[in-house]
């Protein structure tokens, strides 16, 4: 029995197979509409989430399965002091697979150590969110037809953004990926990722502060939100904030086949006027997320089309 705690739990070849399966599901959803008949997913969400929980639930429903679970810690036994380990032991007697989101880092790993059913980490604090990374990888592959020989711009809050850290760690396993790290000085990628991940693996990257300077060379632009509270003073925030708002003017500088991704929710870092641009792929990304979660559920449950 396998679990999904980190994207690195699966080899590049295994992820490739999972993405191939996701493509087949996307192309012929009817064929997969009953592969999980009689199976149940438990979505154990100790903190609120809209997209991730609904994406998991929809993924299971699309495969013919059903859903149980809770969407906040207040509606679970956690309020009575039940441990994560005990909760999964109990839930494991009802469901066939579980997706866990928890504010405490490592909680899904604790569950997986005692769980009788496969556990998926659906986000644990600022630590990991592997299905977002799978979504990002699958989106890049679907849009560009490959996950190699690409220049990928990561823009915004590179210091605290767990999706960015996780994506970088996953992408360096593919050949000829170059990164352009676009952020204010205050929100640069942490040194442990620059040194321990990028430098150690001899990955090409450069750091810039202005999105305009970087955008012409990018194949993928991965946007994240720059939050006001991350700055030490208001003046710096005001000075920098417009550099990181993607608008039509900046899109005009980009290649015709550059795609814009965003883990969502978007606040104001991508102007609404960009939504109609065919290169704005962040809503398609949500759809790809659902397909890859379907493929992940099938992989962990070891079910296939008869």
Cα–Cα distance, 2 to 236 (Å, whole number) = 46
- Quote the DSSP letter at residue 48: -
Q: Are 62 and 33 in contact (CB under 8 A)?
A: yes
Q: Are 279 and 258 in contact (CB under 8 A)?
A: yes
Q: Which of 36, 84, 168, 274 binds other proteins (CB under 8 A)?
A: 84
Query: According to CB under 8 A, which residues from 184 to 203 bind other proteins?
Result: 192, 196
Of residues 229, 226, 241, the one with CA closest to residue 164:
226
| 107-114 vs 84-91: helix crossing angle, rounded to 10 | 50
Q: Measuring CA to CA, how many Å separate 122 from each of 100, 190, 213, 268, 282?
A: 5, 23, 35, 25, 19
CB atoms < 10 A from the CB of 73, how many?
A: 16
Which one from 3, 40, 52, 169 is the annotated catalytic residue? 52
CB of 135 to other proteins, least distance (A): 21
Cα–Cα distance, 129 to 135 (Å, whole number) = 10
Catalytic residue list contains 202:
no
126 binds other proteins (CB under 8 A): yes
| Preceding omega of 265 cis (within 30 degrees of 0) | yes
Which one from 40, 101, 165, 266 is the annotated catalytic residue? 101
- Smaller CB separation from other proteins, 127 or 141: 127
- Smaller CB separation from other proteins, 107 or 258: 107
106 binds other proteins (CB under 8 A): yes
Catalytic residue list contains 80:
yes
Count of residues engaged in binding other proteins, rule: CB under 8 A: 17
Q: How far apart are the first and last CA of the chain?
A: 21
Of residues 182, 122, 130, the one with CA closest to residue 152:
182
Per-residue contact flags (x/-) with other proteins for residues 4 to 43, judged by CB under 8 A: ----------------------------------------
102 binds other proteins (CB under 8 A): yes
Catalytic residue list contains 52:
yes
Q: Which of 19, 41, 44, 110 binds other proteins (CB under 8 A)?
A: 110
Catalytic residue list contains 178:
no
| Range in contact with other proteins (rule: CB under 8 A) among 50-58, 67-75, 78-86, 257-265 | 78-86
- Smaller CB separation from other proteins, 82 or 275: 82
- Smaller CB separation from other proteins, 124 or 294: 124
> Annotated catalytic sites, by residue?
51-52, 80, 101, 129
Binding footprint of other proteins on the chain (CB under 8 A): 83-85, 102-107, 109-110, 124-127, 192, 196
């Amino acid at each position: 029995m396998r679990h999904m705690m980190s994207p690195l739990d699966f080899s590049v070849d295994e992820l490739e197979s999972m993405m191939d399966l996701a493509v087949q599901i996307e192309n012929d959803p009817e064929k997969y509409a009953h592969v999980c008949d009689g199976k149940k997913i438990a979505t154990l969400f100790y903190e609120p989430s809209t997209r991730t929980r609904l994406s998991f639930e929809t993924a299971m429903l699309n495969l013919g399965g059903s859903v149980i679970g809770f969407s906040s810690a207040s509606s679970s036994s956690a309020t009575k002091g039940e441990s994560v380990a005990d909760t999964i032991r109990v839930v494991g007697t009802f469901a066939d697979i579980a997706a866990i989101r928890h504010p405490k880092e490592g909680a899904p790993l604790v569950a997986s150590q005692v769980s009788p059913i496969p556990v998926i980490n659906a986000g644990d604090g600022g630590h990991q969110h592997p299905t977002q990374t799978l979504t990002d990888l699958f989106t890049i592959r679907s849009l560009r037809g490959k996950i190699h020989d690409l220049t990928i711009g990561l823009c915004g809050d590179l210091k605290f953004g767990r999706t960015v850290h996780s994506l970088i760690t996953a992408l360096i396993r593919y050949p000829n990926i170059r990164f352009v790290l676009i952020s204010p000085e205050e929100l640069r990628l942490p040194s442990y990722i620059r040194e321990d991940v990028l430098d150690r693996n001899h990955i090409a990257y450069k750091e810039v502060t202005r999105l305009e300077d970087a955008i012409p060379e990018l194949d993928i632009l991965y946007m994240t939100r720059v939050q006001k509270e991350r700055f030490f003073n208001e003046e710096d925030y005001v000075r920098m904030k417009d550099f990181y708002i993607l608008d039509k003017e900046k899109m005009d500088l980009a290649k015709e086949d550059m795609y814009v991704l965003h883990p969502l929710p978007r606040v104001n870092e991508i102007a609404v006027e960009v939504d109609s641009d065919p290169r704005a792929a962040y809503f398609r990304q949500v759809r790809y997320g659902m397909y890859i979660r379907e493929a992940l559920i099938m992989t962990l449950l070891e079910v296939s089309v008869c």
